[in-house]
Amino acid sequence: MIPAAFEYHRPSDMSGVLAILQEHGDDARVMAGGHSLIPMMKLRMAEVPHLIDLQDVGGLSGIMVGDTITIGAMTTQADIIDNDALAAAAPIMREAALQIADPQVRYMGTVGGNVANGDPGNDMPGLMQCLDASFTVVGPDGERSIPARDFYEAAYMTAREDDEVLTAVSFAKPAGGYAYEKQKRKIGDYATAAAAVQIVKDGGTCVSAAIAMTNLSDTPVYSQAASAALVGTSVDEAAVKAAVAAMLGDIDPVEDNRGPVAFKRHVAGVILARAIERAWSRA
């Protein structure tokens, strides 16, 4: 497979990256691990006349764990899995990363690429919405922060401007129980349905919940209604059913090689119920 020809750039700092983006506009794209972009280029579904490889740009990888957790865009899924401080502070990150792709891909695939690409099949966007994360982007006018819940507009369309680069994700250290539950046909596949759930329990009552779904619409779906259906309940069968029903009102799957719409909605319900039960048991 031979992608269309391109000019390869490997700048050593962010100002170099931004200068190339300014000069070439739509014709330039940044690449982190390349494991979403290169397959698209090989299929000639993406043509990138100016490819900007971020590997030599300093300061883009690393994980900082405190009350706020910040993860550099070039941090790989393997880095996420290996980081014990992160696994202790936000265990849902490791649980989700272990379900992404396969070992080789996790060595290369990055958090930044996963969230910035805007592919509805990617797992990190839904997870970031569940965690109410913010994305830091930098452009010619400086830095700004965009909430993950406002970032996704449509498949591959995000609030990031073409001349901006996503440099980090950050979120408050999550509280309570967690689960990332994913149904996929085989290792390396995108989700048929996946659910990210964080639940806080006080006494026997759910005091807050956050629920987001993956690959069930052309964007990740943060379901405010499903989250609200759990709050104030003891997360019994009726509450789980109500949350699932609310979630089903927010998703909009389409038929593809993972199955017809009715099947996807069925799987989404099963996966969310499992995720809620597991998160509650850990709360």
Partner 1 sequence: MSDKKHYKLTVNGQAVDVLAEPRELLIYTLREQLNITGPHIGCETSHCGACTVTIDGKSVKSCTMFVAQADGKDITTIEGLGSPDGLHPLQEAFKEHHGLQCGYCTPGMITRASKLLEENPNPTEEEIRFGMAGNICRCTGYQNIVKSIKAAAAEMNAAKEAAE
Residue 117: CB minimum distance to partner 1, A: 15
Residue 253: CB minimum distance to partner 1, A: 24
- Report the Cα–Cα distance between both ends of the chain, in Å, rounded: 48
Of 38-46, 57-65, 124-132, 275-283: span binding partner 1 (CB under 8 A): 38-46
Using CB under 8 A as the binding rule, whether residue 85 contacts partner 1 is answered as no
Q: How many residues bind to partner 1 according to rule CB under 8 A?
A: 29
For partner 1, which is the closer residue by CB, 9 or 278?
A: 9
The one-letter amino acid at 131: L
As a whole number of angstroms, the distance between CA 115 and CA 73 comes to 9
As a whole number of angstroms, the distance between CA 51 and CA 31 comes to 7
One of 12, 22, 55, 224 touching partner 1 (CB under 8 A): 55
For partner 1, which is the closer residue by CB, 50 or 265?
A: 50
Number of separate helices (H) and strands (E) present in the chain: 12, 14
Q: Cite the DSSP H helix spans in 162-236.
A: 224-230
Contact 185, 258 (CB under 8 A): yes
For partner 1, which is the closer residue by CB, 105 or 155?
A: 105
Q: What is the DSSP letter of 271?
A: H
Q: What is the dihedral of CA 278, 269, 92, 201, to 10 degrees?
A: -50
For partner 1, which is the closer residue by CB, 81 or 213?
A: 81
Q: What is the DSSP letter of 110?
A: B
- Looking at residues 96 to 155 of the shown chain, list those that interact with partner 1 (rule: CB under 8 A): 101-105, 107-108
Using CB under 8 A as the binding rule, whether residue 187 contacts partner 1 is answered as yes
Of 36-44, 137-145, 146-154, 254-262: span binding partner 1 (CB under 8 A): 36-44
Contact 211, 193 (CB under 8 A): no
Beta bridge partners of 143: 138
Q: What is the dihedral of CA 138, 100, 50, 43, to 10 degrees?
A: -150
Of 4-12, 18-26, 128-136, 215-223: span binding partner 1 (CB under 8 A): 4-12
Residue 94: CB minimum distance to partner 1, A: 13
Of 45-53, 64-72, 220-228, 273-281: span binding partner 1 (CB under 8 A): 45-53
Contact 108, 31 (CB under 8 A): no
Q: What is the dihedral of CA 239, 194, 117, 224, to 10 degrees?
A: 0
For partner 1, which is the closer residue by CB, 43 or 64?
A: 43
As a whole number of angstroms, the distance between CA 116 and CA 133 comes to 13
One of 24, 29, 35, 265 touching partner 1 (CB under 8 A): 35
Using CB under 8 A as the binding rule, whether residue 12 contacts partner 1 is answered as no
Site of interaction with partner 1 (CB under 8 A): 1-8, 10, 34-35, 38-39, 41-42, 49, 51, 53, 55, 78, 101-105, 107-108, 187-188
